Amino acid sequence: MFKKILIANRGEIACRVIKTARKMGIATVAVYSEADKDARHVEMADEAVCIGPPPSKESYLVIDKIIAACKETGAEAVHPGYGFLSENPEFSRRLEENGIIFIGPKHYSMAAMGDKIASKKLALEARVNTIPGHNAAIDTPEQAVEIARGIGYPVMIKASAGGGGKGLRVAYDDKEAHEGFTACKTEAKNAFGDDRIFVEKFVEEPRHIEIQLIGDAHGNTIYLHERECSLQRRHQKVIEDAPSSFIDPATRKAMGEQAVALAKAVNYQSAGTVEFVVGKDKSFYFLEMNTRLQVEHPVTELITGLDLVELMIRVAAGEKLPFTQDQIKLDGWAMECRINAEDPFRGFLPSTGRLVKYMPPPEVHGVRVDTGVYEGGEISMFYDSMIAKLIVHASTRDHAIARMRDALNQFVIRGVASNIAFQAALMQNPRFLSGDFNTGLIAEQYPKGFNAADVPHDDPAMLVAVAAAIHRQYLARNATITGQMPGHEFTPGEDFVVLLGRDQYQARVLKADGGWDVSFAGERYELRSSWQFGDPLYVGTLNGQSICMQIERRGLVYRLFHWGVQADMQVMSARTAELRALMPIKAAPDMSRFLLSPMPGLLTQIAVTVGQEVKAGEILAKIEAMKMENVLKAERDCVVEKLLATPGESLAVDQAIIGFK
């Protein structure tokens, strides 16, 4: 067994590998860019080596720097995590040439299966069902359009080296095929250094289900059941669960055996995943093989009781798999939510900055949190948006969903926006709850994006009662301030008006033993809690039932977060409410003559010049944030008056880029 390994990655997955290595008694080496010098994985590892500036192509993607770090520290093997160099056969081959073991598949297996074009040809030879498409690299957008017409719209335009939704577009007509080809080529070159593009038929209403594999150097390859990964937004997985509620035992066996046959065809040795598109009738088609550890591997670990990282390390060290296919158990249900630094209320735009508050739920009762961040750390614009992975395990899918809802309620993040509200809303979506969904669910349920109005709270009385009680608690503290003028001491009232959106509630709040009694609309609500000022979580009971919600005070507004609902509430006296209704509403400034940056990011291109006449739909500028290229287009015909930013500049959200006449 290895004495020391290097992790050629960062963030959550680097921390995850370090945990298992530590459990196995193996010393670890972290590598980091200048932007990650204070990162959690650097602190956790036994040693750390700086490998360059923040951009990935100057640090985490430079093979020579990784090899040099191995030689400097005496690391015998390298775990690549996922992303970066994890599916680069050249990296695996170069390590082998330098006497360093790659904790992953052999370079020839990776080259065969990691390349989507080559793997599809192999699947055809192995008589695996494949999706109709053009299996050779495409050179021009015109050729892409011609091929797309031949296959029939809609089509998927994909980067051969792509992954994680990068370098992928769905086109429904010639214009989208032309633009999609160009965008995919640029994204793929920047993210993977490989801009080969191919086109295949897009299966509508599909399910995305993947089979986890593990193979050793002794000819043993075993499948570890499936993961349901159909809940996606723009081809990025949002929630994964295992097993799939859609797959029956016979289909599971057929998919697993086909995946194993494909892996054995290339002598696959390590953890890997074969992805399938599954139709309504349970017919399945090979999509691609990921020759690495997947982001969502924890759900497989929880239902099988196996540590996939440990198995990868043991296989790489030459050990034989310690089990057979019939010994793989299927225990309960596991579910994972990806907690990302993105704002669901602003079209899921990336959010960067400092984590002012970071309080994940406690890892008890089937709750697991995999993360690479800490309170006070920074979410950088140079890397992906993942903050953490929240994973739960329970006896049934319904119990797992209930456990996830509770865990999301307790997950506190401040300083950057997160998608927790969106995840919590999905946990209440009827189609998701029933298990009757496909990859189009999010686009169909939220066609205009996500906002708080999409998630009506099923018990608004709970929110009203908590807001009224908190406000009364603040007033009670104010009454204890020293130095008040005798005879004019502040005395809190008992009657209030609670504003929730356009609704008003007349509430009375009375002190009770261990909390407050709130009465409104003819009902009484007994709130009991030890909540103190500044606590982000309000934990207690309401009429004897346990409750937990997040609380944030913003000036005169109390922001409550519960079950996906983000409610901004105000509590005031009846007279104040009367006067407030008479206040004029201040109009927002007219910014329609400016192109504003919708997110923090790097301005990579301004596509217009001063005085240029621009037509609606034309490209104005491009911004890169968290490894994704975002194209900004004109909403209407206009004339460029001035340029207010320059390419290479780091933009803040809502910063003006271009002014129009």
Catalytic residues: 288
CATH level 3 topology of 594-660: OB fold (Dihydrolipoamide Acetyltransferase, E2P) (2.40.50)
CATH 3.20.20.80 matches 121-131+207-331: no
**What residues contact residue 120 under an 8 Å CB cut-off, 6+ apart?**
130, 133, 135, 200, 286, 288
SS3 of 441, please? helix
Mean pLDDT score, 547-564: 91
The pLDDT > 90 percentage for the chain reads 75
Q: What is the spatial distance between Cα 189 and Cα 195, in angstroms, rounded to a whole number?
A: 5
CATH level 3 topology of 133-201: Dna Ligase; domain 1 (3.30.1490)
> How many Cα atoms sit within 13 Å of 62 on the Cβ side?
17
Burial status of residue 480 (CB atoms within 10 A of its CB: 0-12, 13-18, 19 or more):
exposed
Domain ranges within the chain, ordered by starting residue:
4-103, 121-131+207-331, 133-201, 332-440, 460-480+490-581, 594-660
Which parts of 17-82 are beta strand (E)?
Answer: 27-32, 47-50, 77-79
- Digit-coded pLDDT (tens) for 28-51: 999 999 999 999 999 999 999 999
Concatenated DSSP letters of 632-660: EE-SS-EEEEEE---TTPEEPTT-EEEEE
CA 242 from chain centre, in angstroms, equals: 18
Closest CA to 655 of 623, 627, 629, 628: 623
Q: Which residues pair with 212 in a beta bridge?
A: 273
Give, in words, the CATH class of 332-440. alpha beta
Q: Indicate the CATH number for domain 460-480+490-581.
A: 3.30.700.30
Residues shown for the chain: 661
Q: What is the spatial distance between Cα 548 and Cα 566, in angstroms, rounded to a whole number?
A: 14
Does residue 154 have a cis bond before it (omega within 30 degrees)? yes
Average pLDDT, the chain: 92
- Residue 452 predicted with pLDDT over 70: no
Q: What is the spatial distance between Cα 26 and Cα 74, in angstroms, rounded to a whole number?
A: 13
The greatest distance separating any two alpha carbons of the chain, rounded to the nearest whole angstrom, comes to 92
Q: Which residues pair with 393 in a beta bridge?
A: 334
Q: What is the spatial distance between Cα 644 and Cα 215, in angstroms, rounded to a whole number?
A: 55
- Digit-coded pLDDT (tens) for 636-646: 999 999 999 99
Q: What is the pLDDT of residue 596?
A: 94
Concatenated DSSP letters of 95-155: HHHTT-EESSS-HHHHHHHHSHHHHHHHHHHTT--B--EEEEEE--HHHHHHHHHHH-SSE
Q: What is the pLDDT of residue 454?
A: 66
- Residue 115 predicted with pLDDT over 80: no
- Residue 120 predicted with pLDDT over 90: no
Give, in words, the CATH class of 4-103. alpha beta
Q: Do the domains 460-480+490-581 and 4-103 match in fold? A: no
